[in-house]
């Protein structure tokens, strides 16, 4: 694949790698990745940065085109030293990595995506992207920058207990759109098994039970699948994207 490289100046900048001919794609795959020396370069098992980057690059390669914005926002924008200090506090004092930052007098996350958004919109002329992320902040930043976003989840296997805990904290404390960790514990097999079970129980309830019970069973099953299934967030975002499409004027063809 042809790769073009641009530097993105600014405090929240970095580099952009443009793979293949994104001009031919209506909504190219985009990964906005904040530098993580431990995860990306040293393949640390403690976070999901390395697996997320690997999966994003695999998907861009399969699509034959895409954009990687690699931002110099190490340690959620606080730098490598604060990150190391945060990890030490987290491991010794039982904090998670977010509350460790707060205990050290920092904000949990300093990162900004304004410069990245402007680069996509102004330098690359993108008005619509498929964003590889679990982070709602990135989706919001692009949408505020008038870029239509279809979120593509990155579901990675945690490589250790610590990575699993880290991802669970991301999900519960920072609102990252990750499946609950029970999903990983039970494994990928559980997904089709669970859905089959849900459909079977519902069908049996409709056939055997009195009508109100059957309706209640159906609603309960839908609620369980909604709460549990990893695709649930993308359904919600897709509905939001449709709402946006209905309420906004049609997007002009991007000029580059
Ligand atoms: Zn990391």
Residue 122 lies in a domain: yes
Residue 91 lies in a domain: yes
Once rounded to an integer, what is the mean pLDDT over residues 197-201? Answer: 78
pLDDT bin (cut points 50, 70, 90) of residue 209 is confident
Instruction: Determine the distance separating the centroid of ligand 1 and the alpha carbon of 3, expressed in angstroms.
Output: 25
Instruction: Determine the distance separating the centroid of ligand 1 and the alpha carbon of 34, expressed in angstroms.
Output: 9
Residue 82 lies in a domain: yes
Task: At 181, list the tokens.
Answer: 């960790």
Cβ burial 25-54 (10 Å sphere, 16+ → b, else e) = bebbbbbbbbbbebbbeeebbbbbbbbbbe
Q: In this predicted model, what pLDDT tens digit does every residue of 161-173 receive, in sequence order? A: 888 888 888 888 7
Q: Average pLDDT over the chain, rounded to whole? A: 84
Q: Is 109 a catalytic residue?
A: yes
Residue 219 lies in a domain: no
CATH number at residue 18: 3.40.50.10990
Residue 160 neighbours by CB under 8 Å, 6+ apart: 45, 46
How far is it, in rounded angstroms, from Cα 156 to Cα 50? 10
Catalytic choice (31, 76, 111, 127): 111
Q: Is 174 a catalytic residue?
A: no
Instruction: Determine the distance separating the centroid of ligand 1 and the alpha carbon of 232, expressed in angstroms.
Output: 25
pLDDT value at residue 256 = 41
Instruction: Determine the distance separating the centroid of ligand 1 and the alpha carbon of 235, expressed in angstroms.
Output: 27
Catalytic choice (109, 118, 159, 191): 109
* Number of domains composing the chain: 1
Residue 131 lies in a domain: yes
As a residue count, the chain comes to: 256
Q: In this predicted model, what pLDDT tens digit does every residue of 118-161 receive, in sequence order? A: 999 999 999 999 999 999 999 999 999 999 999 999 988 888 88
Residue 169 lies in a domain: yes
Residue 216 lies in a domain: no
Residue 21 lies in a domain: yes
pLDDT value at residue 196 = 78
Domain that holds residue 61: 3-179
């Amino acid at each position: 694949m042809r790769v073009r490289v641009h530097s993105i100046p600014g405090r929240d900048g970095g580099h952009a790698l443009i793979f293949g001919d994104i001009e031919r794609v209506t909504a190219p795959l985009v990964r906005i990745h904040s530098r993580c020396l431990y995860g990306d370069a040293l393949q640390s098992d403690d976070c999901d940065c390395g697996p997320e980057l690997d999966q994003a690059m695999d998907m861009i390669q399969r699509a034959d085109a895409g954009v990687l914005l690699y931002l110099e926002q190490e340690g959620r924008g606080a730098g490598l030293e604060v990150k190391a200090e945060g990890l030490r506090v987290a491991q010794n004092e039982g904090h998670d990595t977010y509350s460790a930052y707060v205990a050290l007098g920092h904000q949990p996350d300093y990162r900004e995506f304004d410069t990245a958004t402007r680069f996509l919109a102004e330098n690359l002329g993108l008005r619509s992207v498929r964003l590889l992320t679990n982070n709602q902040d990135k989706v919001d930043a692009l949408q505020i920058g008038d870029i239509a976003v279809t979120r593509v989840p990155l579901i990675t296997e945690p490589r250790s207990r610590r990575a699993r805990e880290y991802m669970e904290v991301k999900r519960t404390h920072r609102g990252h759109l990750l499946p609950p960790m029970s999903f990983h514990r039970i494994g990928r097999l559980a997904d089709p098994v669970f859905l089959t079970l849900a459909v079977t129980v519902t069908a049996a309830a409709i056939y055997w039970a009195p009508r109100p019970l059957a309706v209640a069973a159906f609603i309960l099953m839908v609620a369980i699948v909604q709460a549990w299934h990893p695709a649930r967030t993308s359904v919600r975002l897709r509905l939001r994207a449709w709402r946006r499409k209905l309420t906004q004027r049609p997007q002009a063809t991007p000029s580059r």
